[in-house]
Amino acid sequence: MQAIVETLFDAVYLITVITLGIRMIRGSGNSRQFRLFGWMAVVLGAGDSFHLIPRALALCTTGLENYTVALGLGKCITSVTMTVFYVLLYYVWRLRYKVSGQSGLTAAVYVLAGVRIALCMMPQNQWLSADAPLNWGIWRNIPFALLGLVVIVLFYRSTKEHGDSAFRWMWLTIVLSFGFYIPVVLWADAVPLVGMLMIPKTCAYVWTVLIGYFAMKKEC
């Protein structure tokens, strides 16, 4: 039952975000903001597919324990693409609110993203092992959480200052995604049921993409 429900949920998620992303790329016209948002959605879906597709195959066939390498590699790729997702979201913020300059802020975003990716590449993560160390899971997510916090604050302030009703909940979708994700990093190995929080976390990302899509439909 878990295999069927989880596989269907993941399939709907991947198809939804990638389809919406492609529609945004094709329908954005001359809007760089929404074209970039579309690419951001495609990166999100394509990156997650490296982990979710092997997981679906494992659940529907011989079990997760027989797909350790594929799942670990997919998780590593997803970790990198999620970092790229937030860098792209930062640039969506810059384009939407016509932000210029602020080279220090941009440098901070790149430093946090670079540190996150570098930590993800370290062999100590033991991505291909069934017993990956928890401490490295925490270390690599510290710069990721800080990057998310930067984007949360930027969207929260800008939507308030500009009275941007279309994007007014963007900051909340990111808060929710991290709020559901962090307990999984910390406790999912000890308490497998905590892994269920990935479902609302995934829904938060769908909400993020829908915000951009509906804004494009209204503004383009």
Predicted confidence band at 188 (pLDDT cuts at 50, 70, 90)? confident
Q: Is the pLDDT of residue 175 over 80?
A: yes
Distance CA 186, CA 95 (A): 35
Give Cα 136 to chain centroid, integer Å: 19
pLDDT score at 54:
94
Summarize pLDDT for 109-156 with one digit per residue, the tens. 999 999 999 999 999 999 999 888 999 999 999 999 999 999 999 999
- Please give the mean pLDDT across all residues of the chain: 95
pLDDT score at 172:
98
Summarize pLDDT for 196-206 with one digit per residue, the tens. 999 999 999 99
Q: Hunting for tokens 């799942």 — which residue is that? A: 71
Summarize pLDDT for 35-49 with one digit per residue, the tens. 999 999 999 999 999
Please report, rounded to a whole number, the percentage of residues in the chain having pLDDT higher than 90: 87
Q: Is the pLDDT of residue 160 over 90?
A: yes
pLDDT score at 191:
85
pLDDT score at 190:
80
Q: How many CA atoms lie within 13 A of 172 on its CB side?
A: 8
Q: Is the pLDDT of residue 1 over 80?
A: no
pLDDT score at 167:
98
**Do 150 and 112 contact (CB within 8 A), yes or no?**
yes
Q: Which CATH class is domain 2-219?
A: mainly alpha
Q: pTM for this structure?
A: 0.95
Please report, rounded to a whole number, the percentage of residues in the chain having pLDDT higher than 70: 100
Predicted confidence band at 63 (pLDDT cuts at 50, 70, 90)? confident
pLDDT score at 82:
97
Distance CA 35, CA 220 (A): 11
Distance CA 25, CA 110 (A): 24
How crowded is residue 151: how many other Cβ atoms within 10 Å of its Cβ? 20
Where are the domains positioned within the chain?
2-219
Q: Is the pLDDT of residue 2 over 80?
A: no
Predicted confidence band at 3 (pLDDT cuts at 50, 70, 90)? confident
